[in-house]
Amino acid sequence: MTATLKVEDLACFRGGQTVFAGVSFRVEGGGGLVIRGANGSGKSSLLRVIAGLMRPEHGSVWLDAGSGAVSFSELGRHSHLVGHTSGLTGAMSALANLRFQTRLLGGEVTRAEGAIARMGLAPFIDRRAQVLSAGQRKRLALARLLTVPRPLWLLDEPTESLDAAGEAVVETLIAEHCAAGGIALVATHGAAPRAARTELALVVTERLAA
């Protein structure tokens, strides 16, 4: 799996205001990009546009997932967006949640237990998501990266709520993904992953800052 992502002159408007504009970059498989910026600069919106969840006002997102370019409507099938919400069902166990998400996304359900162990959640595999700590829920949300292989990872503050051990696991996962030819875009205020070769700085537009 060797992917290529190219973003050209991307602009996003929300509520009649410019969130960001003129964003261009290219990331080859095996590399990562760190996205930094103050609150309101559009980091999360940029990831959502690249995931195909929001239409850009201007510009284009081009992804070659390893077997040719994919259309904008297909971006979601070739990417993982892990954001601030976990998407977990509180009444279901950690294992049941991951199995459900894996099945829904077309992954291998048999990988679920191993992924939970890899994320350090083996002792909590049968515990309901609603009683997991914030850090444990974050680890569980990230576990689907291991059960549903996709070339493009879009990670919005992936180490938020994690302790040092959890941060190390995420760092290793990103490094392994990029080593296999994947791409990781990481919006973060923290340290840059080792696999990230470049950084993109977003600034709050004048209209939003006013």
Selection from 45, 52, 2 nearest residue 21 by Cα: 45
Asked if the model's pLDDT at residue 27 lies above 80, the reply is yes
The owner of tokens 């939003």 is: 208
Look over the chain and give the mean of its residue pLDDT values, rounded to a whole number: 93
| CATH fold of 4-89+150-209 | Rossmann fold (3.40.50)
Segments making up each domain of the chain, as ranges? 4-89+150-209
Chain-centre distance for alpha carbon 158: 8
Q: Over 50: is that where the pLDDT of 87 sits? A: yes
Flag whether the pTM goes above 0.75.
yes
* Whether the predicted pLDDT of 181 surpasses 70: yes
Cα gap 98→66, rounded to integer Å: 26
